[in-house]
Structure 1
Amino acid sequence: MFKNCITPSAILLSCCLAANLSVNAQSAGRQYSLGFYQGSSEDRSYHSSQRDYMVQPTFDLPQGDTTRKQSWLYRKLFREHLLEVKDEDYTFYASILPDLMIGHSNDNGTVWLNTRGVIAGGQIGKNLTFRAEFYENQAKLPAYLDAYGRATNIVPGQGEWKAYNNGKAFDFAYSSALINYKAGKHFDFQLGYDKNFIGDGYRSMLLSDVGFNYPFLKVIANIGRVQYTTMWAQFIDMRYPKASYDNGYRKKWGVFNYLDWNVSKKFSVGLFETVIWQDSDSTGKRGFDASYLNPIVFLRPVEFSVGSPDNALMGINLKFTPTANSTVYGQFILDEFKFKEVTAGNGWWGNKFGGQIGFRSNNIFKVQHLNFLTEVNAARPYTYSQRTTLNNYSHYNQALAHPLGANFVEWVNIADYQYKRLFLRGQITLAKYGLDSAGHNYGKDINESYTKRAEEYGNKIGQGLKTTLTNVQGTAAFLLNPKYNLRLEATVTARQESNNVWKNKELIFQVGLRSSFRQIYYDF
């Protein structure tokens, strides 16, 4: 592993001493399926690199003639939640969330999605807010997603499935919940069964919301220009056999520290560290390790003190806002390395790292609500992998960072536009990566043990079966109700994945009635 590295905890005290004791609530908003957030602000106490999943996005929509009294049915269909209660001491809302799609794939015939969901949330007093969601789903997916689901036993980002319609479709259900308590001016405590995201881009190389929900406890401290977050979480490993019928799937734990410092109005630095450890091994149950309980402890020395059995990663998130509407951002993740091997340039397998660089802008060409993002992500072979999946950087058969795993380079371009209730969105994703072949592990699948690596030296991005991916998607939607993102939507996706052995091409067209603010990633 790496040694003598600066951690977020290591500079916490010095940053706090330099900070002013003032704080404003973060309101970056939850990413949703149409559009994205710029996350730029000249407020030095605003931190854009952590999405606030308690805050639902708001839409800038025409208000119409408010002098005329609107009927109950009109308000519930187009303006409000199905149930809304407001009192001096509490608020409550609830809605039904339909997500109904039908379409055609040239490779899998008729495809469809039948989701019935509900959402409920509110606030008690001034300090406690809560949100809960539940989704019951049946789906016949496009061919590439169907193949992915059968290979991994999961629907991307939505958990395990069981056979439906004589095995031709998937049946799956999942839920999420989040409670946030604001303890005074400087602290937030969150208890959740949900996802998290660290970064200012579309992807994250540090911690992404691409995977399935998981339980976590998070403490957020805001002190002037500094925001410091510690999170403890539990993850599921599906690769190892179940310990027993009573205990279910094998589990692993993670602790995350993230310090975000707004150095100036235009520049911010975020320092990230995490340790993943297995819940049990052949010698017995380890469970939650109290060594990682202190929220400001230096994780790497702690990991070393318990015998270095765990998986430690470190990273950095950078953001520069040259103008009020534009942001240049980047990330670097360091999994494992030896300095002499890096400088030798021999492609040692243990030089495991990745990175991101991107640019995003709002209101480009001075057109209101016209947004653009371009982003490059890459990871060397074997990054995020470990000796075993019991402590690698994954959860429920999906990566905790980038959906492509490792051994890849990707270029993502997204543009969207809103005019009143009409939304348009286009995305082009290009990627190159190396797949395993002839029984050799070339480092893309992070759930494969790095002890089965193909080569000790000469490793580089794209090694193995060199494969290219092109994914082009266009979406048009008409918003019906902004409170829970109820909309009519049509989507066209053209996808091609090819190498010297095979070529898969799929054209997918879908229309439907959709709702909610879920972020589901199918673009990989």
Structure 2
Amino acid sequence: MKHLIWMVAMLLLCSAANAQEKLPVIVPYHSQNIRELYMDSSNHHTAFKPALHEDTSVMYTHSDTTKRSLFHRKLFNEHLLEFRNKDYNVFIDFLPDFQIGKSRNGSRTTWINTRGASIQANIGTKFYFESYFYENQGKFPEYLDLYIRKNQVVPGQGGIKDYSNGKAFDYNYASALLSYTPNKYLNVTAGYGTNFIGDGYRSLILSDIQFSYPYLKLTGNLGNVQYTAMWAQFMDKHSRDFATAYEDLGYYKKWGVFHFLDWNVNKKLTIGLFDAVIWPDADSSGRKRGFDWSYMNPIIFLRSAEFSEGSSDNALVGMNAKFKLFPKTTIYGQLVLDEFKLKEVFGGKGWWANKQSWQLGFRSFDIFKVKNLDLQGEYNAVRPYTYSYKSTMINYEHYNQSLAHPLGANFQELLGIATYRYKRWYGRGEVMYSKYGDDPDLKTNYGHDISKPYTTHPNEYGNWIGQGVKTNLLYAQGTIAYVVNPKYNLRLEASLAARKLSNDIDKSTDLIFSFGLRSTFRQFYYDF
């Protein structure tokens, strides 16, 4: 998939001379700049990300270019390499991420050494292309180190190799995206990366916390309705025995199809309906199934209806909604049904297969009338065994990480995030508190670890959020940064994080300080 995207993109760039559009570059919105969509008086489709838009800030000439040296412009205001034309643009950047820090009250030195590169290009407003690659070595705080060794993956960044005599990790990460918008009604995107559905910091529908995966996405716009169909391929690293037996096939693969219908009911209210189906590439005996072409049908809820007729594939349905309560305040929420039986839900007996999750939150901008001071609050809850299945070959997971929330299931979470921007200064504060039920050992399954088969649940009834080993998790982080170059978010950044976990089995406290030179708009989720 990555090589195909690259080849097609190069062909498109070579044909740039034939393009007639004379418009700015098309770029994706990121979490750092999507706020303008929420503050606009119009109601935009904000749930499915990355969302593409015309970057009207990009000009073919800059008014102060002659007043600045080349070094000054490249360091503070421009991409490393820029090729601007009335028909196309190409931007190339070097993306460093160099950090050093201390954790465990100064007893553990942590560091990150990342060298990355990116290329972004567009032909008019119809074609957009981007590709990123990062080579990394790093030593992490103890709780992340334990997670990485257990799951053999750096959160959101791929598989690992031992480095520095096993004290650190070597890993790489890549993503790519090719977008074609023939008209205002349709967009076709092929990519190798992640996607996000929702208006919150977390998503209980589809999150971007995982390693990259190949996908094809079709998005149609008609009036106040936006409809997206996406097909993706995921990897199951848990099935090591199968991967060993079939080394030429690599890790075990599984497929997913996602449909999302987003309707702007009016200028304040948006309602989105979602469904997803995960199916295995082959069974445990190695019998190949491959891509099921019946899932090419883009009609929402069609396969979920067939699931109720006895399909063995893993189906989920859900809803995302937002409402503009005030001009600069939006409330939002999500509901996901992994399995639903009306009699059992309202029976109140805690049936194990009542697998649901829900979210409620708000975004408020320019609070207390302070420009660029924003606040977000959010509550998430996931019942036990949600997102799990009979096998990891078909559960809601990719590369040993959940496709939804990093805490898996069987938890409640409350978080608040405040951000402030002043010129090139940026500050962010986060507090997260979670209560979840852990498992006392590897065999017992109270519904927190979604990689465990739900067939091992110990109780048919009496299953409630927090069952098992009751665990409290508190995470707080403060970050301050000076943005050296906003084109690729090059910044000097200092961060202080505190993490406290406690239950009857384990108690740990960590204080983590880091400082470094960072870049790109990547977002990693280490708050778990």
> Could you tell me the TM-score, scaled by structure 2's length?
0.90
Name which structure has the greater RCO, CA cutoff 8 Å, separation 6+.
1
Q: Report if the CA contact (8 A) 1:188-1:221 is conserved.
A: yes
**2:95 corresponds to 1:97:** yes
- Please state how far the C-alpha of 1:343 moved relative to its aligned partner: 1.6
Q: Report if the CA contact (8 A) 1:443-1:450 is conserved.
A: yes
Partner residue in 2 for 1:130: 129
**2:507 corresponds to 1:503:** yes
Q: Distance in 2 between matches of 1:222 and 1:302?
A: 27
**2:253 corresponds to 1:254:** no
Q: Given residue 426 of structure 1, which amino acid in structure 2 is its aligned partner?
A: G
Q: Report if the CA contact (8 A) 1:58-1:482 is conserved.
A: no
Partner residue in 1 for 2:487: 483
Q: Distance in 2 between matches of 1:36 and 1:141?
A: 31
Q: Distance in 1 between matches of 2:459 and 2:262?
A: 38
Would the alpha carbon gap of residues 73 and 66 (structure 1) be closer, same or farther in structure 2, given more than 3 Å must change?
same
Q: Distance in 1 between matches of 2:355 and 2:393?
A: 19
Superposition map of 1:42-441 within 5 A: 42-44=41-43, 46-52=44-50, 54=52, 66=64, 69-106=67-104, 109-241=108-240, 242=243, 243-281=245-283, 282=285, 284-296=287-299, 298-303=302-307, 307-438=310-441, 439-441=443-445
**2:528 corresponds to 1:521:** no
Q: Distance in 2 between matches of 1:394 and 1:344?
A: 30
- Please state how far the C-alpha of 1:489 moved relative to its aligned partner: 0.3
Q: Distance in 2 between matches of 1:101 and 1:254?
A: 36
Partner residue in 2 for 1:467: 471
SS of residue paired to 1:280: coil
- Please state how far the C-alpha of 1:244 moved relative to its aligned partner: 1.1
Q: Distance in 2 between matches of 1:129 and 1:41?
A: 24
- Please state how far the C-alpha of 1:501 moved relative to its aligned partner: 1.9
Q: Report if the CA contact (8 A) 2:82-2:89 is conserved.
A: yes
Q: Over the residues paired in the alignment, what is the CA RMSD in angstroms?
A: 2.1
Q: Distance in 2 between matches of 1:175 and 1:217?
A: 17
Q: Given residue 217 of structure 2, which amino acid in structure 1 is its aligned partner?
A: K
**2:35 corresponds to 1:31:** no
Gaps of 5+ in 1: 1-24
Q: Report if the CA contact (8 A) 2:209-2:524 is conserved.
A: yes
Gaps of 5+ in 2: 1-24
Partner residue in 2 for 1:4: none
User: How many equivalent pairs are there?
Assistant: 494
Q: Distance in 2 between matches of 1:233 and 1:43?
A: 32
SS of residue paired to 1:291: helix
Q: Report if the CA contact (8 A) 1:30-1:56 is conserved.
A: no
Would the alpha carbon gap of residues 38 and 287 (structure 1) be closer, same or farther in structure 2, given more than 3 Å must change?
same
SS of residue paired to 1:234: strand
- Deviation >6 Å, runs of 4+: 25-28, 34-38, 56-60
Q: Distance in 2 between matches of 1:58 and 1:223?
A: 23
> Could you tell me the TM-score, scaled by structure 1's length?
0.91
Q: Report if the CA contact (8 A) 1:424-1:475 is conserved.
A: yes
Equivalent residue for 1:448, pick from 436, 446, 452: 452
Report % sequence identity: 52
- Please state how far the C-alpha of 1:57 moved relative to its aligned partner: 8.8
Would the alpha carbon gap of residues 57 and 383 (structure 1) be closer, same or farther in structure 2, given more than 3 Å must change?
farther
Q: Distance in 2 between matches of 1:302 and 1:219?
A: 23
- Please state how far the C-alpha of 1:322 moved relative to its aligned partner: 1.6
